[in-house]
Structure 1
Amino acid sequence: MFKPCLSLGLGLVVGLFALWGCGGGDDRPSSATTVGSATCTNTCHASTKDITGTPIAAAWAGTEHTTDDKVQCEDCHGPGSQHMGVGNIPFPNPQAAQCEVCHKDKKGFDSTIHANPEPYNGTNPTSLSGPDKFFFQGDALNSGTAEIMGEPEFLPDGVTPVTHARHIEECSRCHNPNQRFQYGNADGKGELINPNPNKMPDPPNITCSGCHDAHQAEKKVKIAQRKDRVAYPVFRKFFVNPTGEQNDDIPGTQLAASIYQPNGAVQPDGTTDYSKVIGRNNEINPERLCASCHAKGKYKYSQLATHQSDVYTEWLKSGHAARSAAPFAEFSANPLAYTDEATGKPFDVGNHRATWPFDMSLTAAGTTASTSQNGGYVPAGSTEVSNAYACYKCHNGIGSLAWQDNVQGTSKAPVIFGDVTVTCITCHDPHKDVQGQSKNTRRPEMMTNYSANGLTIQGNYFLDKQPVLLEKTGNATICVFCHQGRESGLTLYYAKLAPGRTITGSFFNPHYLGTAAMLWGANAYEFPDKLYGVDVFHQATGDANCTGCHMGEVTKDGLNGGHTWKPNVKSCNTSSCHATIGEVGVKSGSTATPDVDNYRTASDTNNYTGDPGGASLSIARSIQVLQGKLIAGLAARGVYYDDLNYPYFFKTADPATHTASGNPNGINNFTDWTPALYRSAFNIQFIIKGLPSKATSQVNVPNASASVHNARYSIQLLLDSYENLTGSPLTGAVRPAGTRPATIYGAGQ
């Protein structure tokens, strides 16, 4: 194998489906007849290896694609009577069309960027159309000097030219990965023989077998939860260094069968054996298949850096990839193998601990768990059962797909075999594009599926029943799916504040990272006599919202922008936006993050805090001051807020009495709620937990998250909650004007 080269953009190249065959095909030449698979595998191809180095006959014979679904060689390659080792065979490198004869539900792949539906038209090499079959070399002859982006290409000696054919080979590593290249001389200096320079593949594209191992498309395993064996896909073998560097020579980085991990807790018979969970050996890494092209590599011959963006290493720096962070470490098979950044110690084995295999076809959390169904008692001897079914909407990148497709609890839902974060295929669907979106970004079938306490919300809505505006959210629609939290003012009302409900008891937590809901002015507890506003600037149509700020131009050192999701100051400092918001947190080179802690538009002279000098405070600092006033108001009424310790509201002031050791059995938890206390507590949590808990409290720092995602909405909520709690508006404070009436919940809101 040779070094990776070109990228096909941000559409990602991994799939979860297995290629079940159904026999037959419609593209067979009328003059050719079938000869049977035995003729292929017992004669010429008994020891032939495919482009990945896998023996074809053995792999084909051992896959359920063959044994269960009876797929034969000629179902994919076409009838072989005119081939016999010397003549043509209809489909030597079967394209997606051959797979789609059976897999009709995957025809959407044909319009994706991987399928190259708009090959280069010969007029403008820098246009958005795909590459031509010669990758802009003009021809595939071994004469002449190849070019990279118009510059001559040489071997590392700087003298010997790289030929056109060899540069086409370099580009095909990603753009046409099933193409085998052969030259006339053993030293590689002869003329190109295969493919025929006069019959080059046109157009180059990624087909199904570019990602799936075509000769062993799936394997099956028996698990305790299901009567029938469960299929899992087997992917092509690529080599990717876990740190992102692409290098075929690094051992131990081969990727195959990435959705199944038989070396960890899941055994070949489908049982769970936790004695075999050693360190982090239950991690699965489907993103490494995408990384084989979507990361910087080197051209095979010139050894120059390839041209694509380094998406994989950007992603490795992001929260989505942070396996050691609480959202993923706590849901791993072995939390003890991960270090809690807040304490510097391993995570406890709590009731979030995963038990693999986990069957997303089973229904609601807690109702089906047993030692054989999504179960296992953890820790040993405990009566607690781990069943994170609902949590996997966001806390497991494979489980999320069941929720996105709205098949959770049905036979169509996947089985999860290992720990995984928010990975490439969580947000990108390599098999289709969605109208109005790009880059294969997913659009969930049902944004909200909520049913509790007599309230049902199902469909394209936020958790307060406001519609999600798909025409505006665009590629960021997938962001809203997880980043709206899991409760709202409406669900709080139905659970605790509606007539006849029991208000006392554990705090009703809106959950974390609800910044997408905040951005769109949704899900907080709203007061019926008030008007609320939206952040019209950060809600701009399409990719100007979440992705416009969080995926702006990546910095040269790769620390901000792109798939790091850490805003690059350049995304703010544009002539149509803030121009000079300032820079802070310079890491190296040109890397800088927006200085939103200290930013305030010069034309905004309102005093939002009511304090002397309040009009000169930054917006983030103003929100922090308002939070402090509301927290103090709660404390004056015996409710003490601690954003570092669950359940966050206590009847004691000392933080030491809020920790696990200082709060045995939750004796210090505040439970004596009143409507006014609950409304204020819910909104404080909604605003402060817009970002996840840090190692230090977020109470005493400027709330940059709330100021950026929707300052107007956040300030309105804080002032309204203060007034509701104390009975009077905050003296001297200016409430931003609202544009829409509050969401109405019901009697007594």
Structure 2
Amino acid sequence: MLYARTFISLISMMFVAVPVAQAQETSPVTAIVESWMTSPHGDRKSEAFVHWNKDGAVPEDCATCHSGPGMLDFLGADGSAAGKVDAPAPTGSPVDCVTCHNQAAHDLQQITFPSGEVMTEASPSAICMVCHQGRESSDSVNAAIAGAEDDTINGDLGFINVHYAASGATLFGGAVRGGYQYEGKTYAERFAHVPDFNTCTTCHDPHTTKVVAIDQCVACHKGAETMRDIRITPADIDGDGDAKEGISAEISTLHEKLGEAIQLYAKDVIGKPVAYDAHAYPYFFNDLNGNGTADPDEAKFPNSYKSWTPRLLRAAYNYQFLAKEPGAYAHNPRYAIQLAYDSLEDLSSKAEIDMAGMTRP
């Protein structure tokens, strides 16, 4: 409670010109703090904030997003130079009230993505995008595979992990190259939604991070009972004959087929079966018994998959990008579909993959 009262006081002083005690009784600050404390940003016991406890500090490369003081350092809100973290950050310090409610965060409008592209975001979404952008891009994949033969195993290659919930990169799509974008293809850029629902904080409660209620969407998306029921095209994207299912289902089917195609290519083309486990780093493992599943004795770091070809790595990067971006159907569905479709198409140039009926927007 001391921790909660500290931030109640801070936010009270920032937003109301009355004594803190009175503000606690008459303002919604208490409810806001309670919402924050049950949110992912306030979960002090989550892996995102306890991973470095044994080390005693969060290293500079991780501190921006995994420590409130680290973000303040990155923003320059602590008096340091903006744009970098100068020192390790303390553990046990989640994304709290002052992490986002400070002048530097309020003024932030330029966001640099992993590709090096700098985008302007003149809304409260800017502070969200500092972290929710991933840590890799098409550019880093291309740098890794440069000069290598597409279908030859290269021992110098390792899996490139986008590093989770790259929602900002999905939103800006092709402009920032967060997913792997294939040469010669065009990609949807920023997903333009209606003005009242076109920023992170108009669709997500900024304190709980939960998505707004569906009743705010059905005025336009009539008949939808959940967010995932919303459909944006009459096309049967995944070729399953159902042109009424939500766009989320279309993307999920493409994603599932991409996973199957990755395994087919690895087994039939390069002769090195692979299996995926969404909860075990580094996610792709040698499928020792060939059953298509990363069994508990296989999903271990010493059994990490190391038989990468450039073609396989490109597809696996996009598979993980979509696996760790569950909101892609809302953030930029066309971009998500294009990434999955193009990965399937690329693999199908070597493996027998059925893409009959699939459509690329």
TM-score in terms of structure 1 length? 0.41
Q: Distance in 1 between matches of 2:338 and 2:83?
A: 39
- CA pair 304-545 structure 1, distance change in 2 beyond 3 A: closer
Query: Of 58, 64, 72, which residue of structure 2 is paired with 1:393?
Result: 64
- Residue 265 of structure 2 is aligned to residue 544 of structure 1: no
CA contact (8 A) 2:115 2:137 kept: yes
Aligned to 1:565: 209
CA-based RMSD of the aligned residues comes to 3.5
- CA pair 464-730 structure 1, distance change in 2 beyond 3 A: farther
Aligned to 1:174: none
Read off the aligned partner of 2:73 and give its amino acid letter. A
Query: Of 507, 519, 527, which residue of structure 1 is paired with 2:182?
Result: 527
- CA pair 517-503 structure 1, distance change in 2 beyond 3 A: farther
CA contact (8 A) 1:535 1:712 kept: no
- Residue 32 of structure 2 is aligned to residue 311 of structure 1: yes
What is the deviation of 1:313? Answer: 1.4
Query: For residues 581-660 of structure 1, what are the structure 2 equivalents within 5 Å?
Result: 581-582=224-225, 595-601=226-232, 604-613=233-242, 615-636=243-264, 637=266, 638-652=273-287, 659=296
What is the deviation of 1:483? Answer: 0.4
Aligned to 2:106: 441
C-alpha deviations, 1:149-170, integer Å up to 9, x for none?
Answer: xxxxxxxxxxxxxxxxxxxxxx
CA contact (8 A) 1:549 1:572 kept: no
**Aligned to 1:607, what secondary structure does the other structure show?**
coil
CA contact (8 A) 2:280 2:300 kept: no
- CA pair 565-506 structure 1, distance change in 2 beyond 3 A: same
Aligned to 1:481: 130
CA contact (8 A) 2:275 2:292 kept: no
- CA pair 632-504 structure 1, distance change in 2 beyond 3 A: farther
Q: Distance in 1 between matches of 2:24 and 2:284?
A: 57
Q: Of Structure 1 and Structure 2, which has the larger fraction of its residues in helix?
A: 2
What is the deviation of 1:511? Answer: 0.7
Aligned to 2:360: 735
What is the deviation of 1:489? Answer: 1.2
Q: Distance in 1 between matches of 2:315 and 2:36?
A: 37
Aligned to 2:269: none
- Residue 56 of structure 2 is aligned to residue 355 of structure 1: yes
Q: Distance in 1 between matches of 2:214 and 2:95?
A: 26
Bigger Rg, structure 1 or 2 = 1
Q: Distance in 2 between matches of 1:395 and 1:299?
A: 29
- CA pair 500-731 structure 1, distance change in 2 beyond 3 A: closer
Larger relative contact order (CA 8 Å, sep ≥ 6): 2
Aligned to 1:461: 112
Q: Distance in 2 between matches of 1:730 and 1:670?
A: 26
Aligned to 1:490: 139
Read off the aligned partner of 1:313 and give its amino acid letter. E
Q: Distance in 2 between matches of 1:532 and 1:300?
A: 53
Aligned to 1:720: 342
What is the deviation of 1:640? Answer: 1.8
**Aligned to 2:207, what secondary structure does the other structure show?**
helix
Q: Distance in 1 between matches of 2:21 and 2:200?
A: 37
Query: Of 296, 320, 331, which residue of structure 2 is paired with 1:685?
Result: 320
- CA pair 635-482 structure 1, distance change in 2 beyond 3 A: same
Q: Distance in 1 between matches of 2:346 and 2:256?
A: 16
Read off the aligned partner of 2:234 and give its amino acid letter. T
Read off the aligned partner of 2:317 and give its amino acid letter. F
What is the deviation of 1:354? Answer: 3.6
**Aligned to 1:548, what secondary structure does the other structure show?**
helix
Aligned to 2:270: none
Aligned to 2:48: 327
Query: Of 97, 100, 114, which residue of structure 2 is paired with 1:424?
Result: 97
Read off the aligned partner of 1:545 and give its amino acid letter. T
Q: Distance in 1 between matches of 2:295 and 2:203?
A: 36
Q: Distance in 2 between matches of 1:684 and 1:493?
A: 16
What is the deviation of 1:543? Answer: 7.4
What is the deviation of 1:497? Answer: 1.0
CA contact (8 A) 1:294 1:308 kept: no
Query: For residues 114-153 of structure 1, what are the structure 2 equivalents within 5 Å?
Result: none
What is the deviation of 1:312? Answer: 1.1
- CA pair 630-420 structure 1, distance change in 2 beyond 3 A: same
Aligned to 1:588: none
- CA pair 294-662 structure 1, distance change in 2 beyond 3 A: farther
CA contact (8 A) 2:60 2:86 kept: no
CA contact (8 A) 1:393 1:399 kept: yes
C-alpha deviations, 1:646-689, integer Å up to 9, x for none?
Answer: 11112215698555x6556513x211111111111000111111
CA contact (8 A) 1:483 1:514 kept: yes
What is the deviation of 1:485? Answer: 0.7
Query: For residues 226-237 of structure 1, what are the structure 2 equivalents within 5 Å?
Result: none
Q: Identity of aligned pairs, percent?
A: 27
TM-score in terms of structure 2 length? 0.80
**Aligned to 1:616, what secondary structure does the other structure show?**
coil
Aligned to 1:666: 302
